[in-house]
Chains A and B, each alone.
Chain A
Amino acid sequence: MDRKLELIDLKKAYTPKVVPVKNISLDVQQGEFLTLLGPSGCGKSTILRLIAGLEQPTSGRVMINGRDVSRLSPGDRNIAMVFQSYALYPHMTVYENIASGLKLRKTPHAEIKDRIREVADFLGLHELMDRKPSQLSGGQRQRVAVARALVRRPDLFLLDEPLSNLDALLREHVRAELKQLFGSQNAPIVYVTHDQTEAMTLSTKVAVLNNGYLQQLDRPDVIYSHPATQFVAGFIGSPQMNFLQVPCDDGNAYVGATIIPLPKGSTTPKSIVLGIRPEHVHLAQGQNEPILKGEVFLTENLGMHDLVSARIANATGEAMNVRAILPVHSGFRNGSTAGLAFPIEQIHWFDTTTGDRISNNPSPMMA
């Protein structure tokens, strides 16, 4: 039977004013890894808790493998969860922690031992079996938490910011481990994080959330190249995308003295938001691209590149800031003028009021 998670019109309201999850519909198929990504307060953790059954939805349904589980307790949903703080039972040994879910389901002793041995091999936990959680390091505890989930062979895996409590170096290492571990799993996986790197590297699909609403649900590369809203465009990609609000007339946008043609097939708005990522802005080399002249006021060295900030004058004389990632030692001092080229196919256009994307290139079909 195909494993699948479906959320249908999910909504959670604590009070009429406090509605962390407003209207979420999505599904996760077998073999997929979905990340719920967004800033704090966007509702991602609440959605995870609704899926787990730790909270009840105000309206809408949660379906696992075609079964409506919205009213079932967490223990009856056949799910496993890895918590941000690992949530290991402090008075039980590592072995007992891992076995606890299986014991509650009256799994035969022999099978428990087999499964735990398998998982311990997988994660290298054999020497830790008799220790208590307080005798483990952060990384070890995390592995035990993952083992506890894996050993259950559930219909669905839920992970709540499992890397947040690790220091930066360990985080990269464990992230790669997690990818390999869960890559070989069949059951769908829902992962919550506010870190876009984790989302982009681990998932097959990313759901970007803001304020209880789903902003975009797509493959990571599509989210990067075709953000559906200004919010998504600004949230994904570091350093952040440049946003310039500029006036338009007769099919063109006017950025200072430069004229940039708008995408065809729509009425020209009064003004529009132009978005372009710093990594796509490059030094003008006389190609057939819109070129803007800006005065450099800040150069930050990022190791491999420089992040150069320049000021560009608008038509009305206001200054707009543009940041560009340029090769190191491009030789800019504060005050010097730089010619920055904006390749047209890398420009994103957004509606000034709704923030929605105004079609540029046609985006690939949503998965």
Chain B
Amino acid sequence: MTTVFPDAIISKKPRAKIGRKIVLPMAIALTVIFCLAPILWQLLTSVKLNADIAAIPNVYFPTRYTLDHYRELFQRRPFLNYILNSAIVSFASTLLALGVGAPAAYALARLRLQGERWILAAVLIVTLFPPILLFLGLLEVVRYLQLGNNYLALIIPYTAINLPLTILVMRSFFQQLPKDLEDAAKVDGYSTPRMLLEIVLPMTIPALVTTGILTFISAWNEFIFALTFITREDMKTVPVAGAQLGGASPFEIPYGPLAAATVLGTIPLVLLVLFFQRRIVQGLTAGAVKG
């Protein structure tokens, strides 16, 4: 691993040593606080009693806790549905993105296609289109095909949004696979389909998992299309439903349940990140560096 300030030099300069002993831990602490604070605050808010939530000055260490806000989520709203909807749409679009993107990535990595540069350029450029520019045209398509309040209305666009990342990451992975293996398979007598299935695919699984995680996260978090194409309450996805949580009256904003919704809506992703941190970083950098 590279370091910005090589250790050998550090030990000779007293000023730099102080840098490492004091500045670095402070910087690390700041980074951690910076990243975690808002999340932790939401977590805390979600288990505070309403009285504590509305207390001034703020209560940082409440003495009493409650799970009422969470209960409210499931009683007043079909929160379980929201989670299921998000899960179904995210899984489906992930599988589709992998199923369509990985073969394309293989073709772009191994088979010398004419027009390869154009395809890659197109794939890259397309990642720059903000969804807001696309939703009008897609809205018309959705209406025309009567796919409103249908999972497909989200699955297809999510697949498309995730395809560029899938293709770029998988392509860089395929490029690193030793070519010899495929040659050896050909000499052994494998036909191309069998070779892809029995030799190449097993080796690709780690990369597929990494990419799949990234696409899952992206699909779960999507907002504009979910907001526009799904209007039926029990079909909504978690981000949309959470943002639309209202109170009994227009003046009462249920901060407790809102915080609870935030926590619940993000738990699956937090778990994913916790377990797959290394893979996620790998995937992100592979896709980014290739760009």
On A, residues with C-beta under 8 Å from B are: 52-54, 73-76, 79-81, 83-91, 100-101, 104-105
Contact = CB atoms under 8 A, between A and B. Distances in A.
B183 A83 contact: yes
Interface string B171-191: 000000010110111111111
B188 A104 contact: yes
B203 interface: yes
19 contacts: A53-B187, A54-B183, A74-B183, A75-B186, A75-B188, A75-B190, A79-B187, A80-B187, A81-B183, A81-B184, A86-B180, A87-B178, A87-B184, A88-B184, A89-B199, A90-B203, A100-B188, A104-B189, A105-B189
A81 B181 CA distance: 12
Contacts of A89: 181, 184-185, 199
Nearest to B188: A101
A85 B177 CA distance: 12
A84 B184 CA distance: 11
Nearest to A82: B184
Given A75-B190, A104-B188, A91 B203 contact: yes
A337 B194 CA distance: 71
Contacts of A75: 186-191
Nearest to A91: B202
A87 B189 contact: no
Nearest to A152: B188
- Summarize A's interface: helix, strand, loop or mixed: loop
Nearest to B184: A87
A74 B186 contact: yes
Interface in B258-284: none
Q: A-B pairs with the 3 shortest C-beta distances?
A: A75-B189, A87-B184, A87-B180
A105 B188 CA distance: 9
Among the interface residues B181, B189, B190, B202, which one has the most CB atoms of the partner chain A within 10 A? B189
B284 to A, nearest CB: 25
A87 B186 CA distance: 12
Nearest to B205: A91
Contacts of A87: 178, 180-181, 183-184
Nearest to B178: A85
Contacts of A85: 178, 180
Nearest to B192: A73
Contacts of B189: 74-76, 101, 104-105
A83 B180 CA distance: 7
Contacts of B180: 83-87
Interface in B148-190: 178, 180-181, 183-190
Contacts of B199: 89
Contacts of A90: 203
A246 B184 CA distance: 51
Interface in B175-229: 178, 180-181, 183-191, 199, 202-203
B270 to A, nearest CB: 32
Interface of B: 178, 180-181, 183-191, 199, 202-203
Nearest to A89: B199
A80 B202 CA distance: 24
Contacts of B202: 91
A334 B187 CA distance: 58
A351 B185 CA distance: 47
A80 B183 CA distance: 11
A84 B181 CA distance: 11
B219 to A, nearest CB: 29
Given A87-B178, A87-B181, A89-B181, A81 B187 contact: yes
Nearest to B202: A91
A86 B187 CA distance: 13
Nearest to B199: A89
Contacts of A52: 183, 187
Contacts of A84: 180
A89 B183 CA distance: 11
A241 to B, nearest CB: 35
Among the interface residues A52, A81, A88, which one has the most CB atoms of the partner chain B within 10 A? A81
A79 B184 CA distance: 11
B186 A54 contact: yes
Nearest to B181: A87
B190 A104 contact: yes
Given A54-B187, A79-B187, A84-B180, 9 more contacts: A53-B186, A74-B186, A75-B188, A80-B187, A81-B183, A81-B184, A83-B180, A86-B180, A91-B202
A85 B184 CA distance: 10
Contacts of B190: 75, 104
Nearest to A101: B188
A80 B189 CA distance: 10
B111 to A, nearest CB: 14
Contacts of A53: 186-187
A91 B187 CA distance: 18
B180 to A, nearest CB: 4
A300 to B, nearest CB: 36
A90 B178 CA distance: 11
Nearest to A90: B203
A87 B185 CA distance: 9
B181 to A, nearest CB: 5
A13 to B, nearest CB: 15
Among the interface residues B183, B187, B199, B203, which one has the most CB atoms of the partner chain A within 10 A? B187
Contacts of A83: 180, 183-184
A71 to B, nearest CB: 15
A163 to B, nearest CB: 15
B94 to A, nearest CB: 23
A73 B185 CA distance: 12
A89 B188 CA distance: 11
